[in-house]
Structure 1
Amino acid sequence: MSLWTLVKVCSIFYLVFPQKTACLWWAVGNPLVMDPNAICRKSRKLATKQQEICDKELEIVEHASSGAQLALKECKYQFQNRSWNCDTTTRPKAFGRTLQFDTRETAFVYAGTSAGVMFAITQACNTGELLQCSCDSSLKDVAVDGEWVWGGCSDNVVFGYRKSKDFMDARRKKRRKDFREMIRQHNNEAGRLAVRNYLRKECRCHGLSGSCTLKTCWRKMPFFRNIGDRLKKRFDGAIKVLGSNDGKTLVKEGLTIKDPEKEDLIYSEQSPNFCVVNKKVGSLGTRGRVCDPKSRGTGGCDLLCCGRKYKTRKVEVKENCQCRFLWCCKVVCKTCRYMKTVHRCE
């Protein structure tokens, strides 16, 4: 899987450019298997707080790595039609180079990963996979009105938030909180808030014959796709910041934009031109990308090809079809072939 290659590449950046690299904490993992032992064997590269988690709560690292993978998957979905598409497959090294700069794209990756770690750890609490936590029953038997009451077992976002913060916001030994560090921690927090501040309500009916005379309700995390959608909107409205004169705070650049709030994504460097190949900044360009000539949006050929032409050709597609279930327990499908028109940027 390409993620493991990415992990190996980021590890190299972490070692060669420790003062500049923006590779995430899972960059110290094993390039072949993302398991907690593999990550923690590299503990000399981890921050003190991360080392403590490795020593005392190894299972937390396992779910944190799952959260990072979830975040990368969502990143690819959200940017599938953009010139930068969060690609970790074509040339993983380019992804690591992109993360060396404090751009909007880096902000999204950090926020998404922080949210993913919180999401995965919180889920593990609810399913009993972590012994040190469980679901949240603090709202039990709290009446709200005559139709429903808080009860059941809510998602333990307090625990998930705290562990995500401990791991994602940890700083390396002997490294002070500098300008880049403040930006990173702000975007990490924005990711966690995209989970914590948008809990949804789930209910179960009570009453004879399903009359639902009373409901018991509890709090659940938003679906991760909703979290990704929310962070994508913050990406589109991300705010450029500068360091204050005293070096202790972040201030907006320019007088015509609003001050960044806690849920906003922030950045300090303009994004490079991802339309063309640029190895220095990790841009793969858009040549060869599939586009839609009928769309006027980001996935349309006009925008995705950056004003260049595109080629159209027929390709054969194979997929399962006419599937049927055989008792018990097997699904049998035929392979269907058909020709599909594909448009690719030149």
Structure 2
Amino acid sequence: MPPVSSYLFNHLCMILFECLSLINLLCADTRETAFVNAVVAAGVTYTVTQACSSGHLLQCTCDKTMKGLSADGQWEWGGCADNVQHGYKKSREFMDAKYRKRSDLKTQVMLHNNEAGRLSVKNFMRTECKCHGLSGSCTLRTCWRKLPLFRDVATRLKEKFDGAAKVIPGNDGKTIIPEVATIKPPGREDLIYSEESPDFCNPDRVTGSLGTAGRVCNSTSPGVEGCELLCCGRGYETRTTKTRVNCHCRFKWCCEVTCKVCTVKKHVNTCR
């Protein structure tokens, strides 16, 4: 086999292995899977809602159900509110419809986490306002509901991931309860799981773990991206890369920009 073909073959095999590993991980009912399902459900809700307000969908428009003065009488509802109800509905249909008739533990956990993802968008809509009046006097304000920043949605779900609860089937076979009786039952916005996570430090084809060897890490961070935690105590290696970039650019009248070429050094840490 020619060298190029051999390289492509090995590369394709590696991609296939990673895809199969990811499938194995997503089929397990771990807290990582809970986070993924919640983020996907939130993403569908978010995208459909945005499309409604942008006029990209024929089935929906802005949400104009909220009318009248606010409770304190300081402003009134109006403008083009994001139609999160439609986004929520379509996300529920797309993500949950074919699982509604099942009652096994895995399905119940998945549906619960899908709902938590949708609620992380629906329950945290922002209120935005615009002033009206002569010379910006703001004699009247019109306000509408706006989607939260998706970064805030993801951050909220990451916090739920950190506090996710392990659950077991209830005695009636239809409900789920915390594995530890002293833990309060999870709310609709909480994430849950029923299987312990595999050891992600070392590669394991059975569980789908790819290991952390070769992962880029941050030697100064105490968090999950830090070398101490990500490298699982194996240590890390540091290499220096050099990149040539344009620098000290100046504009010459008229009309030319001249730059020098600088070499930028960057230290990259990778797990052993």
**TM-score interval (norm. to shorter):** 0.7 to 0.9
Separation in 2 of the partners of 1:338 and 1:100? 43
Instruction: Specify the SS of the correspondent of 1:317.
Output: strand
Compare the two structures and name the one with the higher strand fraction: 2
Match of 1:254 among 160, 180, 183: 180
TM superposition shift of 1:104: 0.4
Separation in 1 of the partners of 2:115 and 2:250? 47
Deviations 1:21-44 (A, max 9, x none): xxxxxxxxxxxxxxxxxxxxxxxx
Q: How does 1:1-346 map to 2 (within 5 A)?
A: 91-171=18-98, 176-318=102-244, 337-346=263-272
TM superposition shift of 1:334: 7.8
CA contact (8 A) 1:142 1:151 kept: no
TM superposition shift of 1:342: 1.3
Question: Is the alpha carbon distance of 1:251 and 1:324 closer, same or farther for their aligned partners in structure 2, counting shifts above 3 Å?
Answer: farther
Separation in 1 of the partners of 2:184 and 2:134? 54
TM superposition shift of 1:250: 0.5
Separation in 1 of the partners of 2:249 and 2:88? 43
Question: Is the alpha carbon distance of 1:321 and 1:119 closer, same or farther for their aligned partners in structure 2, counting shifts above 3 Å?
Answer: farther
Q: Which residue identity is paired with 1:273?
A: D
TM superposition shift of 1:127: 0.6
TM superposition shift of 1:317: 3.0
Question: Is the alpha carbon distance of 1:238 and 1:321 closer, same or farther for their aligned partners in structure 2, counting shifts above 3 Å?
Answer: farther
TM superposition shift of 1:301: 1.4
Report the TM-score, using the length of structure 2 for normalisation.
Answer: 0.85
Question: Is the alpha carbon distance of 1:144 and 1:247 closer, same or farther for their aligned partners in structure 2, counting shifts above 3 Å?
Answer: same
Separation in 1 of the partners of 2:258 and 2:144? 40
Separation in 1 of the partners of 2:258 and 2:152? 34
Separation in 2 of the partners of 1:116 and 1:305? 31
Q: Which residue identity is paired with 1:306?
A: C
Alignment: residue pair count: 254
Separation in 2 of the partners of 1:284 and 1:321? 39
TM superposition shift of 1:95: 1.5
CA contact (8 A) 2:216 2:269 kept: yes
Which stretch shows the higher mean deviation, 147-156 or 115-124? 147-156
More relative contact order in 1 or in 2 (CA 8 Å, sep 6+)? 2
Which ranges in structure 2 are unaligned for 5 or more consecutive residues?
A: 1-14, 252-256
**TM-align CA RMSD:** 2.6
Q: Which residue identity is paired with 2:142?
A: T
Greater C-alpha Rg: 2
Identity of aligned residues (%): 55
TM superposition shift of 1:280: 1.4
CA contact (8 A) 1:104 1:266 kept: yes
Separation in 1 of the partners of 2:141 and 2:206? 58
Q: Which residue identity is paired with 2:35?
A: F
Which ranges in structure 1 are unaligned for 5 or more consecutive residues?
A: 1-87, 326-330
TM superposition shift of 1:324: 8.7
TM superposition shift of 1:300: 1.7
Question: Is the alpha carbon distance of 1:333 and 1:263 closer, same or farther for their aligned partners in structure 2, counting shifts above 3 Å?
Answer: farther
TM superposition shift of 1:335: 6.7
CA contact (8 A) 1:146 1:214 kept: no
Question: Is the alpha carbon distance of 1:90 and 1:343 closer, same or farther for their aligned partners in structure 2, counting shifts above 3 Å?
Answer: farther
Which stretch shows the higher mean deviation, 264-273 or 295-304? 295-304
Q: Which residue identity is paired with 2:42?
A: A
Instruction: Specify the SS of the correspondent of 2:212.
Output: coil
